[in-house]
């Protein structure tokens, strides 16, 4: 019987695998800290005969080259990948024997990269598992925009074809074992579970249930920000990463910490955000060791800049080092353990800042005394709904845009509190008065804060018979005729942009703008606010309205109650 052991890399949202039989094994997409892969093989009492890469990774530094060197395994890398080291080039259809009756077959699956290759584990000639890397993920696929912008469209189409090739050639019960898709920014969408099979993906995966044109259009429209450090991962992996050094860094005392801060270096406090807010060394920044430390520190830290780590314990420091080497932050300049008492000079006092909830923000917002609301979520998150009048700077851009934040006390929020903690520490280090909102964003509307976007259900409530607002459909006439909400008033965005007035019964009333998907309604809301209107727009537009099961009528439908077209 074959086995598959999963090597989790939760901070990066990835997985590596060790698979094999009673004597031999293959390591798939190993992380840079290879000791866990070696330990897994020792526990199984198997020899690692092969180390394979599905592609040259863009989101982490591989441990494949070093693992192959230490174990004497053959290092299999797609033949079309341009690398600077000796390896066994793999072509579509190549097969190797892991041990008697257990083979590994290469399947070209371009899309995430041009050279991407999946590997099918076969027991007795039957496919039992597919290591799909960044091609077929759980419910989605790997993003196609990490190699070269000019190739993105072509690679998106290749992803669709590759997903179909796997689905059409593998049995339904074949396990699908991707590298990405568990929180990784290499995934093009949200995963829909933790385990899956080819049969399950055949009826649920967006690449397999949508035609090519729809899939490509929606995939490209949904692509999100790319972490800045990705720029350095591909070249490091193509060159051949050096072995890691996880020995403890040199210890720094309070004087050295102060000197490094004075020199403009980054000193990172790894404690949780609650402890940091209660007391920390002035000028330090907070990246929780238990959060997505590697992703966000590597994203915000100027590449190659020295970093000193402050940890509660030696164990926390060692874990952080392990995470950081996975993204190429190899050796901290220095480190210290303990608490601010140990890191401050005798003449210094710890800094602190308050934390709050959205209910606290609503109260401060109502008092109106110089409150600045800063949203540090990504563009795609904000597009789904945000607080009216808030300033938006994603946390990964905040370091370079601090000067854009208006004067006043800054209440900074994200979706759950972790990124708000990072942002609050950056603002505090810059000398701003800050309050970290440590709360789930769903609580913002519940707290009564004014929202710039609302859900279709809330829009239906506000614009129905008992509502206070008018639903303003800003699509074009042919879209309106194909189906609209019964109580909607039709005023195309093109007419509004040309200066057309609102229909009489929509004037001087709260407005809820809606379009097809939510993009034009945002434009309309911005334009109408500039005219002094009280307006929000519907997240997801009529597509989300219909998905929510809300009523839709056409112009030809009997009993239509839609308002007059502008």
Q: Which of 515, 536, 542, 544 is catalytic?
A: 515
* Residue 120 buriedness (CB in 10 A; 0-12 / 13-18 / 19+): buried
Burial 242-257 (b: 16+ CB within 10 A, else e): eebeeeebeebebebb
Q: Is there a contact between 351 and 279 (Cβ–Cβ < 8 Å)?
A: yes
What's the CA gap between 394 and 374, in Å, rounded?
Answer: 9
C-alpha triplet 553, 559, 561: angle, nearest 5°: 65
Closest CA to 474 of 459, 458, 491: 491
Compute, in degrees rounded to 10, the torsion defined by CA atoms 127, 133, 135, 139: 80
Residue in this structure with the two tokens 């060791």, named with its chain if needed:
289
Closest CA to 375 of 358, 361, 392, 359: 392
Write the CB contacts of 295 (distance below 8 Å, at least 6 apart in sequence).
Answer: 11, 12, 13, 185, 227, 327
What's the CA gap between 551 and 459, in Å, rounded?
Answer: 12
Distance, CA of 471 to chain centre: 33
How many residues in total does the chain contain?
566
What's the CA gap between 150 and 153, in Å, rounded?
Answer: 7
Strand 470-473 relative to strand 511-514, pairing: parallel
What's the CA gap between 26 and 73, in Å, rounded?
Answer: 9
Closest CA to 141 of 53, 59, 205: 205
Closest CA to 329 of 232, 463, 193, 201: 232
For the chain, the C-alpha Rg in angstroms (whole number) is: 27
Q: Is there a contact between 489 and 501 (Cβ–Cβ < 8 Å)?
A: no
* Residue 443 buriedness (CB in 10 A; 0-12 / 13-18 / 19+): middle
Per the annotation, the verdict on 186 as an active-site residue is no
Q: Is there a contact between 52 and 76 (Cβ–Cβ < 8 Å)?
A: yes
Task: For 484, list phi and psi in degrees, rounded to 5.
Answer: -145, 170
* Residue 203 buriedness (CB in 10 A; 0-12 / 13-18 / 19+): exposed
Dump strand ranges (E) for 319-447: 334-337, 355-356, 371-375, 391-392, 409-413, 434-437
DSSP for residue 553: B
What's the CA gap between 332 and 268, in Å, rounded?
Answer: 10
Q: Which residues are catalytic?
A: 515
């Amino acid at each position: 019987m074959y086995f598959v052991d999963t090597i989790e890399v939760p901070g990066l949202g990835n997985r590596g695998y060790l698979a094999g039989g009673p004597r031999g094994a293959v390591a798939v997409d190993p992380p840079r800290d290879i000791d866990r892969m070696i330990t897994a093989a020792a526990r199984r009492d198997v020899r690692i005969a092969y180390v394979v890469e599905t592609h040259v990774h863009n989101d982490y530094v591989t441990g494949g080259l070093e693992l192959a060197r230490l174990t004497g395994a053959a290092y299999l890398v797609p033949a079309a990948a341009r690398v600077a080291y000796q390896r066994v080039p793999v072509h579509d259809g190549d097969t190797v024997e892991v041990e008697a009756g257990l083979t590994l077959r290469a399947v070209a699956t371009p899309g995430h990269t041009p050279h991407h290759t999946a590997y099918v584990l076969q027991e007795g000639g039957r496919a039992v598992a597919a290591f799909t890397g960044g091609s077929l993920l759980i419910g989605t696929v790997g993003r196609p925009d990490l190699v070269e912008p000019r190739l993105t469209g072509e690679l998106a189409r290749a992803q669709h074809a590759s997903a179909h090739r796997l689905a059409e050639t593998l049995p339904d019960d074949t396990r699908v074992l991707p590298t990405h898709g568990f929180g990784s920014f290499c995934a093009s969408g949200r995963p829909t579970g933790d385990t899956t099979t080819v049969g399950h993906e055949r009826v649920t995966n967006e690449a397999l249930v949508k035609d090519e044109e729809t899939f490509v259009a929606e995939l490209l429209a949904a692509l999100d920000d790319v972490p800045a450090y990705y720029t350095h991962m591909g070249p490091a992996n193509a060159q051949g990463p050096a072995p890691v050094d996880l020995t403890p860094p040199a210890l720094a005392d309070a004087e050295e910490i102060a000197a490094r801060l004075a020199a403009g270096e980054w000193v990172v406090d790894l404690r949780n955000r609650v402890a940091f807010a209660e007391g920390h060394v002035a000028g330090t920044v907070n990246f929780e060791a238990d959060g997505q430390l590697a992703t966000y520190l590597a994203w915000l830290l100027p590449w190659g800049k020295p970093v000193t780590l402050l940890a509660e314990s030696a164990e926390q420091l060692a874990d952080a080092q392990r995470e950081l080497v996975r993204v190429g932050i190899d050796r901290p300049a220095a480190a210290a353990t303990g608490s601010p008492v140990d890191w401050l000079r005798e003449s210094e006092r710890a800094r602190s800042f308050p934390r709050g909830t959205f209910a606290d923000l609503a109260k401060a917002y109502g008092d109106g005394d110089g409150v600045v609301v800063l949203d540090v979520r990504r563009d795609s998150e904000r597009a789904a709904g945000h607080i009216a009048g808030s300033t938006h700077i994603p946390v990964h851009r905040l370091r370079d845009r601090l000067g854009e934040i208006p004067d006043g006390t800054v209440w900074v929020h994200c979706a759950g509190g972790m990124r708000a903690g990072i942002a609050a520490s950056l603002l505090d280090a810059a000398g701003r008065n800050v309050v970290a909102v440590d709360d789930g964003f769903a609580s913002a509307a519940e707290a009564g804060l004014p929202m710039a976007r609302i859900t279709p259900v809330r829009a239906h409530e506000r614009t129905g018979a008992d509502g206070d607002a008018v639903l303003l459909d800003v699509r074009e006439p042919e879209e309106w005729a194909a189906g609209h909400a019964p109580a909607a008033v039709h005023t195309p965005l093109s007419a509004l942009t040309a200066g057309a007035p609102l229909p009489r019964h929509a004037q001087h009333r709260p407005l809820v703008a809606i379009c097809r998907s939510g993009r034009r309604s945002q434009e309309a809301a911005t334009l109408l606010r500039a005219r002094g209107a009280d307006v929000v727009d519907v997240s997801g537009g009529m597509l989300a309205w219909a998905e929510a099961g809300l009523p839709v009528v056409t112009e030809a439908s009997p009993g239509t109650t839609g308002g007059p077209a502008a």
